A = this chain, B = another copy of it.
C-alpha cells in the first residue's frame, strides 16, 4: 500500500483542517497515512522567528483567522478561536508520538485539534489533555508518565529531526515515498494523489 506522511504540530491552525479529513481523502486513493507529530519551534527559530508568523505579521494573522473560519465551515467543522495562540504543543506532541506507536495517535490528534480549534479550549496542560485521553479509553496518568519519560521526549525530538531532514518548514506538510514535499492543508488532495501514483 502506498503511503503519505502527514507532518503536524498542534500549534498549527491549518493542520486542524488537514487532520480532520486526511484519512477520508487517503482512503479514496488507497493510500496509508503516517501521522507524524513534530515541533515547528526549532524550525521557525532557525528562520529568526520566536513567535508564530501569524502574530509577527498582523495582516497575515488577521486574514488567517477569517480564512480558517470560512474553510472550517466549508469542511463542516466546528471553529472557535482559542484565547491563546499559539499554544504550547510540546506535551500534546509527545503524547501523539506515543499514540503513534500504539494505534491511537490519529484519534488523539483529531481530539486535540477539535478541542483547540473547534471548541477554543486549552491544550497545553496535563489537565487539558487528560479528559481527551479518558475519552479514548486510556489511563491519563499512565499515558502522561510514559509520554514525558526520556523515551517519550526522544520520540518527538526524532520526529522534529526527521521533519527537518525531509525539508519540512511549516505545518501541515505531506511527503510521499519518492521524496515530494507538499505544504499546507490546501495541498492535501494533491499530495495523496501523488502518493497514489508515484514511487513506493
Contact with B along A177-193 (1 / 0, CB 8 A): 00011111011001000
Give the docked Cα–Cα distance between A103 and B168 (Å): 44
List of B residues within 8 angstroms of A187 by Cβ:
67
A74-B190 Cα distance, complex, nearest whole Å: 10
Number of copies: 2
B186 contacts A59, C-beta separation under 8 Å: no
- Check A181 against B63 for contact (C-beta < 8 Å): yes
Residues of B within 8 A of A47 (CB): 57, 59
A-side residues, CB < 8 A to B, are 47, 57, 59-60, 62-63, 66-67, 70, 74, 167, 169-170, 180-184, 186-187, 190
> What are 16 A-B pairs at a CB distance below 8 A?
A47-B57, A47-B59, A57-B169, A59-B167, A59-B169, A60-B169, A60-B170, A62-B167, A63-B181, A63-B183, A66-B180, A66-B181, A67-B182, A67-B183, A74-B190, A186-B186
